[in-house]
């Protein structure tokens, strides 16, 4: 039982971590706090689901979703909404993402469906048996895919030219500009990367949760908690925060109370803000 | 090019108030016969109160609260539980506002100390928690079945149960809350709020405590939501958690942006536009959520001062005079 | 003379870059102390650390004998240190008069009295007096952003004077100001100094510094390299090296 809980906590935490990493990347590159992050997940899941319903094989549906998400939630959102607001206050950008979230969830419930839909299970139902312990296929594959994605992202950030430019922008925008880095282009790239991460998270989470127009809200909030708890200014922070939130949530709902599992996470969040405001791994900003 | 009104200022103020109260009183004269319209008018008063509070928080000090639906729920459940237990509405309403106020202080203190978007995050979480509490603590809140049969109050022995009388109550409280907010904004606080908005670094360097002002603006905004909630309980005569989802807070924000955030008239204009347009066009309400959210995004990009800014532009460009200033 | 502001071992690091490497000096009661040094020597960082806008990494600042390092900027302001900025910082959408009143309203009473006490005639009178002294009274109902750069600098100075600070810190008061106005600002400073106000001034205009200041502190690469009367500083070999290179 304990091991299953750890695995399921880590699996859900891995998804939070994916979404939270996207979150922190947006923050670092453009000081955008994306309150529509959760709805990005819903939109991606709806696209995949619709394609599967039309008879498209899952793998193709997934690929199309990645492209649609990258273009619509990455490129279009950055160019059409965030770009014109960058010169104004950070508050304006936050308000815009809140309105975007409202727009996305209401569009889905109005034009698509307000009902729950069961998302197809890709990895099959039969659990893996490891030394007498049954492990859910879904959980195991979620962890494997999420970790692979995070490693790939890390390689990209550390060793590619655009990745290093991204880091430079995150650390010091003015210096980056002087070095001739095109900040706007880097920010667009970060939005696209975020959209891809979110689309992957959607494929992994939708089979576990039911697909519904408001499923993103809770997920986005959890990712936000994760980023804040771990530290907003780096990937490692979001990663740690994601796993922590997943595990706290799984264990508190197993041993304490299912109804109030959200409350425990919020308490941890407030405690972290009070004790170490920059997050567990975060650095203090100037 | 700018021409100012030639009337003396005190007279202008009296005339403005007379017009405000006159319009509020005209509503039952015209629509008094129609129960649904009276309900709608009362609801508009309630929403205006709530959004005035949000305007103080967001528009005047730049803090994002996503907990306004939750503060409203606090007011609504306080009034519902107390009046059902036999206590007076007139005791319950201020108490609900007070609880919301202190709730605001408790939430604001840790989050405002840090970075300014943390308040949005913490209030969003708070909204979820309040919703869960209301849904799960059946013993007290009735869970999803809610609390029914909330009585409408009376005022010095006069029953306010009829739709028109209850509308007059909400309109009266709206007037009081409007006057109170104007009074606050015309004190030194109003100037400090403006200074924070214009240049927060310099504001700190002239002795403004950002934390104190932002915290107070947020807590007062929360109290306004508490008052609104305290009115909605006897208006609908029934409360349940689904009336106060986190989404509702997003909706308040949208109404404020459409009306004009940071403008005193903003909440009034926003509520009127967002409530009346769907009524006039007789569309599906759900569809209008989508439309108004889209309008909000367009406004943010192209016309950030909202409809109030449109009305300013009308004064400046068409009438060629300075738009009326309600606050300093 | 008594020190009014004591700076001891003030250090500020940004990641691995050391902007201030342990600076010590005092501002004495009633003096005009000039703070000079090449660009990037840490002058403005020092101002920011003293006024609380940035947190020093180490060291201590005392004002009137009381420790102020670590306090929030608004408390430091209220304790009697006024400051202007290198790039003028005003409330651009507020009128000149409102800018002036804003500079003093938070210095008296409590936050509640600011809600209930509405009489501000004494503030207005004082603001008008100062605006007259600075020769910008006719602009009092103009919105601050409509003022010329020189007028904005004078308004900035006027705001600092509203709360009668014991110590005024000026960050390049002469920069971007024409000669006539510069002389005028200089005269105002001397006049205020005679009334008992102490000054800490960052300035690049050497002639102004040499004429105005009673003492000078020179910073280079975040360290104090010289301190003394203007005549001594002018002859100091280290200072010349810092400015003009080996």
**Contact by Cβ (8 Å): B213, B192:** yes
Average pLDDT over residues A95-109: 93
pLDDT in tens, C58-109: 889 999 989 998 899 999 999 999 998 888 889 998 999 999 999 999 888 8
Assigned token pair, C208: 């102004």
For chain B, how far is it from start to end, CA to CA, in angstroms?
21
Chain B residues close to A231, C-beta within 8 Å: none
- Number of CB atoms found within 10 A of residue B211's CB: 15
Which residue of B110, B286, B301 is in closest CB contact with A85? B301
Q: What is the DSSP letter of A210?
A: P
Which residue of A99, A107, A259 is in closest CB contact with B254? A99
Chain B residues close to A277, C-beta within 8 Å: 113-115
Helices (H), A1-118: 2-30, 37-53, 58-69, 77, 83-85, 90-107
CA distance C165 to C134: 17
What pLDDT is attached to residue B6? Answer: 67
The answer to whether A95 contacts B58, with C-beta atoms less than 8 Å apart, is yes
Mean pLDDT, chain C, as a whole number?
A: 87
**3-class DSSP state for residue C20?**
strand
> What residue ranges in chain A does DSSP mark as E strands?
128-130, 133-135
CA distance A182 to A169: 9
Of B266, B261, B262, B288, the closest CA to residue B276 belongs to: B288
Closest residue on chain B to C106 (Cα): B207
Closest residue on chain A to B133 (Cα): A260
Residues of chain B above pLDDT 90, percent: 59
**Contact by Cβ (8 Å): C206, C196:** no
CA distance A253 to B248: 27
**Does the pLDDT at position C134 exceed 50?**
yes
Q: Kindly give the pairing relationship between strand A128-130 and strand C32-36.
A: unpaired
pLDDT in tens, B254-283: 999 999 998 999 999 999 999 888 888 776
Chain A residues close to B126, C-beta within 8 Å: 266
Which residue of B246, B290, B301 is in closest CB contact with A81? B301
**Does the pLDDT at position C246 exceed 80?**
no
pLDDT in tens, A13-40: 999 999 999 999 998 888 888 999 999 9
The answer to whether B117 contacts A94, with C-beta atoms less than 8 Å apart, is yes
Min Cα–Cα distance to chain B from A259, Å: 7
What pLDDT is attached to residue B116? Answer: 65
Instruction: Select the residue from A36, A91, A113, A248 to test the B interface by mutation, using most B Cβ atoms within 10 A.
Output: A91
Chain C residues close to B184, C-beta within 8 Å: 115
What pLDDT is attached to residue B182? Answer: 94
The answer to whether B121 contacts A224, with C-beta atoms less than 8 Å apart, is yes
Mean pLDDT, chain A, as a whole number?
A: 88
**CB pairs A-B closer than 8 Å:** 119
C-alpha distances in angstroms, A280 versus A233, A275, B5?
11, 9, 58
Min Cα–Cα distance to chain B from A160, Å: 32
What pLDDT is attached to residue A143? Answer: 92
**Contact by Cβ (8 Å): B286, A110:** yes
Chain B residues close to C107, C-beta within 8 Å: 207
Instruction: Report the greatest alpha carbon distance in chain B.
Output: 66
C-alpha distances in angstroms, B151 versus B46, B169, B239?
17, 14, 12
Ranked by mean pLDDT, the top range of A238-247, B132-141, C220-229 is: A238-247
The secondary structure of C126-140 as a DSSP string is HHHHHHHHTT-GGGT
The answer to whether C106 contacts B205, with C-beta atoms less than 8 Å apart, is no
Chain B residues close to A217, C-beta within 8 Å: 246-247
Q: Which residues touch C76 (CB under 8 Å, ≥6 apart)? A: C50, C51, C52, C63, C68
What pLDDT is attached to residue C98? Answer: 93
Q: Which residue has the tokens 């709530």?
A: B50
CB burial string A148-185: b at 16+ within 10 A, e below: ebbeebeeebeeeeebebbbbbbeebeebeeeebebee
Average pLDDT over residues B174-178: 97
The answer to whether B300 contacts A106, with C-beta atoms less than 8 Å apart, is no
Ranked by mean pLDDT, the top range of C123-132, C183-192, C227-236 is: C123-132
Chain C residues close to B204, C-beta within 8 Å: 52-53, 72-74, 77
Q: What is the model's pTM?
A: 0.90
Which residue of B124, B132, B250 is in closest CB contact with A221? B124
The secondary structure of B136-203 as a DSSP string is H-HHHH-GGG-EE-PPPPEETTEE--SHHHHHHHHHHHHHHHHHHHHHHHTSHHHHHHHHHHH-HHHH
**Does the pLDDT at position A103 exceed 90?**
yes
**Contact by Cβ (8 Å): A198, A44:** yes
**Does the pLDDT at position A131 exceed 80?**
no
Of B149, A135, B13, the closest CA to residue B5 belongs to: B13
**Contact by Cβ (8 Å): B78, B234:** no
Residues of chain B above pLDDT 70, percent: 96
> What residue ranges in chain B does DSSP mark as E strands?
147-148, 154-155, 158-159, 238-239
Chain A residues close to B247, C-beta within 8 Å: 102, 105, 214, 217
Instruction: Select the residue from C55, C94, C102 to test the B interface by mutation, using most B Cβ atoms within 10 A.
Output: C102
The answer to whether B191 contacts C105, with C-beta atoms less than 8 Å apart, is yes
What pLDDT is attached to residue C135? Answer: 84
Is the CA virtual torsion B281, B285, B291, B292 positive or negative? positive
**Contact by Cβ (8 Å): C142, C96:** yes
CA distance B101 to B15: 33
What pLDDT is attached to residue B328? Answer: 60
**Does the pLDDT at position B37 exceed 80?**
yes
Assigned token pair, B96: 């609900």
CA distance C216 to C213: 7
Instruction: Report the greatest alpha carbon distance in chain A.
Output: 59
What pLDDT is attached to residue C244? Answer: 67
- Number of CB atoms found within 10 A of residue C18's CB: 16
| Phi, psi angles (nearest 5°) of residue C8 | -125, 120
Chains with 3+ CB–CB pairs under 8 A to C are B
Of A6, A60, A26, A66, the closest CA to residue A197 belongs to: A66
The answer to whether A106 contacts B118, with C-beta atoms less than 8 Å apart, is no
Q: Which residues touch A166 (CB under 8 Å, ≥6 apart)? A: A25, A28, A29, A157, A186, A189, A190
CA distance B172 to A14: 53
Q: Kindly give the pairing relationship between strand C223-228 and strand A133-135.
A: unpaired
**Contact by Cβ (8 Å): C200, C5:** yes
C-alpha distances in angstroms, C134 versus A141, C162, C165, C170?
73, 12, 17, 16
What pLDDT is attached to residue B297? Answer: 93
Min Cα–Cα distance to chain B from A34, Å: 10
What pLDDT is attached to residue A148? Answer: 94
CA distance C65 to B191: 33
Which residue of C52, C102, C117 is in closest CB contact with B206? C102
What pLDDT is attached to residue B5? Answer: 55
Average pLDDT over residues A167-194: 88
The answer to whether A273 contacts B286, with C-beta atoms less than 8 Å apart, is no
* Torsion, Cα of C98, C99, C103, C106 (10° steps): 40
Of B231, B292, B283, B228, the closest CA to residue B259 belongs to: B292
Cβ of residue A103 closer than 8 Å to a chain B Cβ: yes
Min Cα–Cα distance to chain B from C193, Å: 21
Closest residue on chain A to B110 (Cα): A274
Chain A residues close to B250, C-beta within 8 Å: 98-99, 101-102
What pLDDT is attached to residue B2? Answer: 43
Task: Assign C243 a pLDDT band (cuts: 50, 70, 90).
Answer: confident
Is C39 buried (19+), middle (13-18) or exposed (0-12) by CB count in 10 A?
A: exposed
**Does the pLDDT at position A237 exceed 70?**
yes
Who has greater pLDDT, A283 or B186? B186
**Does the pLDDT at position B82 exceed 90?**
yes
- Number of CB atoms found within 10 A of residue C125's CB: 10
Chains with 3+ CB–CB pairs under 8 A to A are B
């Amino acid at each position: 039982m304990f091991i299953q809980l750890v695995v399921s906590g880590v699996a859900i935490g891995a998804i939070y971590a994916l979404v939270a990493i996207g979150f922190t990347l947006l923050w670092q590159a453009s000081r955008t706090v994306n309150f529509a992050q959760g709805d990005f997940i819903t939109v991606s899941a709806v696209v995949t689901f619709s394609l599967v319903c039309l008879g498209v094989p899952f793998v193709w549906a997934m690929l199309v979703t990645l492209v649609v998400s990258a273009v619509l939630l990455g490129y279009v959102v950055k160019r059409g909404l965030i770009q014109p607001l960058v010169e104004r206050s950070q508050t304006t950008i936050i308000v815009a993402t809140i309105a975007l979230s409202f727009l996305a969830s209401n569009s889905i419930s109005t034009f698509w469906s307000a009902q729950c839909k069961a998302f197809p299970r890709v990895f099959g139902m039969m659990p893996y048996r490891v030394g007498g312990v049954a492990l859910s296929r879904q959980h195991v594959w979620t962890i494997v895919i999420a970790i692979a994605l995070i490693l790939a992202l890390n390689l990209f950030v550390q060793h590619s030219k655009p990745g290093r430019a991204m880091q430079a922008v995150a650390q010091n925008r003015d210096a980056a500009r002087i070095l001739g880095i095109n900040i706007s282009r880097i920010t667009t790239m970060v939005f696209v990367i975020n959209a891809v991460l979110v689309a992957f998270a959607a494929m992994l989470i939708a089979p576990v949760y039911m697909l519904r127009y408001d499923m993103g809200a809770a997920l986005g909030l959890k990712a936000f908690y994760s980023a804040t708890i771990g530290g907003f200014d780096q990937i490692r922070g979001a990663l740690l925060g994601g796993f922590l939130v997943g595990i706290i949530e799984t264990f508190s709902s197993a041993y304490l109370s299912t109804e109030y599992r959200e409350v425990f996470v919020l308490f941890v969040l407030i405690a972290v803000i009070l004790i170490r405001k920059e997050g567990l791994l975060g650095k203090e900003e100037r | 090019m700018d021409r100012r009104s030639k009337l003396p200022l005190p007279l202008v103020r009296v005339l403005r108030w007379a017009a405000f109260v006159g319009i509020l009183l005209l509503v039952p004269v015209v629509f008094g016969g129609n129960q649904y319209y009276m309900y709608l008018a009362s609801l508009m008063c309630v929403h205006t109160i709530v959004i005035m509070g949000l305007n103080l928080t967001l528009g005047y000090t730049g803090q994002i609260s996503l907990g306004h639906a939750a503060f409203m729920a606090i007011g609504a459940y306080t009034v519902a539980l107390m009046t059902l237990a036999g206590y007076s509405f007139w005791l319950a309403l201020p108490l609900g506002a007070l609880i919301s106020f202190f709730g605001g202080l408790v939430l604001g203190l840790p989050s405002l100390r840090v970075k300014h978007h943390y308040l949005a995050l913490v209030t969003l979480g708070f909204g979820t928690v309040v919703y869960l509490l209301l849904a799960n603590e059946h013993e007290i809140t009735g869970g999803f079945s809610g609390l029914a049969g909330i009585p409408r109050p009376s005022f010095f022995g006069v029953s306010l149960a009829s739709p028109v009388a209850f509308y007059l109550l909400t309109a009266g409280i709206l007037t009081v809350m409007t006057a109170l907010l104007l009074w606050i904004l015309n004190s030194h606080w109003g100037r400090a709020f403006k200074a924070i908005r214009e240049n927060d670094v310099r504001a700190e360097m002239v002795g403004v405590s950002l934390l104190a002002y932002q915290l107070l603006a947020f807590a007062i905004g929360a109290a306004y939501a508490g008052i609104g909630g305290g009115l909605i309980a006897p208006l609908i005569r029934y409360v349940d958690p689904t009336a106060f989802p986190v989404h509702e807070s997003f909706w308040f924000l949208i109404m404020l942006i459409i009306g004009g955030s940071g403008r005193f008239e903003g909440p009034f204009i926003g509520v009127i536009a967002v409530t009346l347009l769907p009524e006039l066009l007789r569309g599906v309400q759900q569809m209008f959520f989508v439309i108004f959210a889209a309008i909000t995004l367009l406004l943010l990009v192209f016309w950030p001062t909202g409809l109030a800014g449109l009305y300013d532009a009308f004064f400046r460009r068409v009438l060629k005079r300075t738009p009326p200033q309600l606050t300093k | 003379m008594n020190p009014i502001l004591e700076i001891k071992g003030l250090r500020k690091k940004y990641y691995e870059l050391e902007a201030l490497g342990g600076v010590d000096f005092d501002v004495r009661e009633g003096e005009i102390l000039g703070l000079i040094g090449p660009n990037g020597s840490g002058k403005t960082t020092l101002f920011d650390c003293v006024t609380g806008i940035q947190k020093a990494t180490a060291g201590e600042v005392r004002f009137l004998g009381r420790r102020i390092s670590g306090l929030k900027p608004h408390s430091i302001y209220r304790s009697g240190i006024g400051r202007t900025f290198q790039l003028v910082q005003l409330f651009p959408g507020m009128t000149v008069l409102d800018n002036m009143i804003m500079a003093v309203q938070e210095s008296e009473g409590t936050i509640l009295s600011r809600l209930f006490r509405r009489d501000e005639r004494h503030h207005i009178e004082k603001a008008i007096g100062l605006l007259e002294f600075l020769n910008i009274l006719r602009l009092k109902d103009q919105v601050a952003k409509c003022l010329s750069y020189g007028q904005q600098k004078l308004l900035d100075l006027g705001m600092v004077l509203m709360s009668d600070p014991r110590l005024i810190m000026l960050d390049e008061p002469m920069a971007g100001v024409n000669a006539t106005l510069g002389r005028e600002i200089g005269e105002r400073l001397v006049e205020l100094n005679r009334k008992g106000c102490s000054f800490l001034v960052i300035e690049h205009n050497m002639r102004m510094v040499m004429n105005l200041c009673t003492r000078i502190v020179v910073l280079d690469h975040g360290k104090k390299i010289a301190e003394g009367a203007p005549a001594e500083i002018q002859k100091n070999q280290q200072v010349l090296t810092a400015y003009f290179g080996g």
